[in-house]
Structure 1
C-alpha cells in the first residue's frame, strides 16, 4: 500500500480487470474482478500469425482495455501517453494509482530477459520513490514490487510485441458516479460479447480466428524451424527449437500470462454465473457451464504444452500440435453453443 493515498494492492487473475478493480476500490467502489472483466466486453479470441519462426500471437481476448466497464459504471477515464519517468511521476501526484500497459518481457521481476514478449499486460503504478524507482502493483504478485524507472520506461515503450505494443499508454480513473445494476447493464455487455466473438468481421478475431488456428497449426512443423533461444519456466535462457518455443508460448498464453488459466474461460463463466444470480435466467447458467467445459479443454492443452514442449522430441512435438488442433476445435464448438444461447436470450429480451 502506498502511504496515504488509499490504494491497497490485491492480487488478481486478469491484469487489466484486476488493475481497474484495485483503482476503483481506492476510489470507494468495490466490485469483483470477474464482473469488471465481463462488463468490459474484451473477452474472445485473437490469432495473429507471424512470418518466419517467431511465435504466432494467440490471446484469449479481442480488445485490449476497451474501458466499457468504466462507461457502464459511470466512471470518467483519462488517457495519457507520458514517455518519460518524470511525466509518469507527475500524473501519480494526482491519483491513487495509474494503470499502464507494459511488455512483461522487459520487467525484470518476470524473469523473461526480453526473450519472450507480451505487450498486452497491465500494472498499476502507485508512486515514484524519488530514488529512481516506481512502486508497481502487478496483479500476478502477492505484494507490490519496486522497479527501476529505466526498466519501467522500457517496458512501457516496447516495440517487441506487435500488434500488442504498449505505446506508452497510461489511464487514470475518476470516482464512480453510481453503483451499477447488473440486471440492467450486464445484458448490454453480453450482447456485445456474443456479436463480436461470433461475427467479429475479421479472421483474426473470435470464432473465425479459432478456425484459422486449427487450419494453420499443422504447418508449424515447416514454418517454425531451426534452433532459437528462449527462457524456460524458471527464467533460465535455453536453446530450443522454434516449434517447441511456439508451443511453449501458446501454453503460457493459455495458463500464465494473466489469464488465471483456461484462456479466460473460467472467468467469463463466473461472470455469467453472477449474471444468472441477478437476473434469474437459466440461459446464463447454461452458457456458463459450456464455457467451463471449454475451459477444461484449454487448461488441459495449456498444462500439456507447458510441461512437455521444452523437452519433447520431434514425434512428441507433432503430437502436441495435433493436441492443439483437437482441443481448439472442441472448445470452439462448445463456445459456439454458449454464444448462440446468449444471443437467443438477448433476442427474447
Structure 2
C-alpha cells in the first residue's frame, strides 16, 4: 500500500488484493515441516507481480545471497526517497511477538534513523515499527518455506497511465476463479480444501506437537494479515467495491455469500485452536465438516464469478 501511495495511487487493501487475483487456497507439508501450512492467497511474490501487471507499473526486484549487498541496495533506494518492499521472517525482528516462523511476510521500509534503525510499516494493528539493523538483516536472510534471498522490490509508474479499474477488477476475479476451480495439483484450490478437511480429524495423532501446531495454523488462517476468514472477508470487500465500480449487482450478491464463507473459515480457525488446547477430536471433526462445506460453496461461487468476469 505504501509503495502505491508513493506513486499517488490510493486504493483500498481489498482492491489491491483483488485486482492481483490474490485469493487462493494451499495446503502444504513436507517431511521437514512439523506444522502443515494452510494458506488462503496466491504466492506473495506472484501477488506483487500480478499487481504491477494489473496497474501497468514497473516492478523492480532485487534478490541476493549477500547480506552486505542487500543492505547496500536498501540504503541506495532509501537515500533516493524510494519506499521499498521487503520480504522477511518477522519472528527475528526485535519488536516481534510471533512465536512461529514464517519467511514470506512483507513490510514496507520507509526510512532509517541515525541509530541505524529501519522504519517498517507493518500490517494492522502494528503500524509503523522500528527494527535494528541486526534484526532486520537476520529476518531478511531467514530460510524456510516460501523464503527468498533477501528479496526487495519497488514500484514505479510507466507510460500509458493506469488502466480502467473496473476492467482490472474483472481480470483479477477471473484469475482467482480459475486458480480455485482448476488447481494444478490436489493441494491447491477447492481440491486442496477437501484434502485438508479429510486430514484434519487425524491431526491430534499425526502432528508432532498438536497444541503448538494447531494454534499456529489457526493464527496464520485468522490473524496473520488475512483480514479474517482466511482472506475471504477481504475478498468479499473487494467484490462489493467491484459491484460499485462496474455497476454489476451480481458481484454484490456473491460478495454477501463470500462473507458467509469467511465466517465458516473463522469458525474453523477457532475450532483448530480449541482442538489443540483441549486435545479435542470432536473440534477437529467439526472443523473438517465446515471446510468441506466451504469448499463446495467456494467452488459454486467461483463458477459464478468466472461467468460474470468473462
Same fold? TM cut 0.5: yes
Question: Equivalences for 1:86-165 in 2 at 5 Å?
Answer: 86-112=72-98, 115-159=99-143, 161-162=144-145, 164-165=146-147
Q: Report the Cα offset of residue 283 of structure 1.
A: 2.6
Alpha-carbon distance change, 292 to 277 in structure 1, aligned in 2, over 3 angstroms: same
SS in structure 1 at match of 2:85 = strand
| Per-residue CA distance 1:80-115 (angstroms, 9 max, x = gap) | 125333332122222431001111222232213xx5
Distance 2:194 2:203 in 1: 15
The residue aligned with 1:179 is: 162
> With structure 2 as the length reference, what TM-score do the two structures score?
0.91
The residue aligned with 1:256 is: 223
* Contact 2:87 2:150 (C-alpha < 8 Å) held by counterparts: yes
Alpha-carbon distance change, 192 to 311 in structure 1, aligned in 2, over 3 angstroms: closer
| Per-residue CA distance 1:129-150 (angstroms, 9 max, x = gap) | 2423211111234542110111
SS in structure 1 at match of 2:147 = coil
The yes-or-no answer on 1:223 pairing with 2:197 is: no
Q: Report the Cα offset of residue 339 of structure 1.
A: 0.2
The residue aligned with 2:175 is: 192
The yes-or-no answer on 1:71 pairing with 2:53 is: yes
Q: Report the Cα offset of residue 260 of structure 1.
A: 1.4
Q: Report the Cα offset of residue 176 of structure 1.
A: 6.0
Q: Report the Cα offset of residue 56 of structure 1.
A: 0.4
Q: Which runs of 4+ in 1 moved over 6 A?
A: none
Alpha-carbon distance change, 110 to 303 in structure 1, aligned in 2, over 3 angstroms: farther
* Structure 1: gaps (5+ residues): 1-20, 226-241
Q: Report the Cα offset of residue 209 of structure 1.
A: 1.1
Alpha-carbon distance change, 269 to 176 in structure 1, aligned in 2, over 3 angstroms: farther
| Per-residue CA distance 1:114-162 (angstroms, 9 max, x = gap) | x511122100111222423211111234542110111111111111x31
* Contact 1:70 1:76 (C-alpha < 8 Å) held by counterparts: yes
* Contact 1:288 1:338 (C-alpha < 8 Å) held by counterparts: no
Question: Equivalences for 1:241-280 in 2 at 5 Å?
Answer: 242-280=209-247
Distance 1:265 1:257 in 2: 13
SS in structure 2 at match of 1:110 = coil
* Structure 2: gaps (5+ residues): none
Q: Report the Cα offset of residue 310 of structure 1.
A: 5.5
Question: Equivalences for 1:6-21 in 2 at 5 Å?
Answer: 21=1
Tell me which of 297, 304, 307 is aligned to 1:341. Answer: 304
The yes-or-no answer on 1:288 pairing with 2:271 is: no
Question: Equivalences for 1:24-39 in 2 at 5 Å?
Answer: 24-39=4-19
Distance 1:134 1:309 in 2: 39
* Contact 2:218 2:270 (C-alpha < 8 Å) held by counterparts: yes
> With structure 1 as the length reference, what TM-score do the two structures score?
0.81
Distance 1:71 1:103 in 2: 26
Alpha-carbon distance change, 45 to 131 in structure 1, aligned in 2, over 3 angstroms: same
Q: How many residue pairs end up in the alignment?
A: 303
The yes-or-no answer on 1:167 pairing with 2:149 is: yes
* Contact 2:38 2:217 (C-alpha < 8 Å) held by counterparts: yes
| Per-residue CA distance 1:167-223 (angstroms, 9 max, x = gap) | 311011113652332222221111111111111212221111112101222232322
SS in structure 2 at match of 1:55 = coil
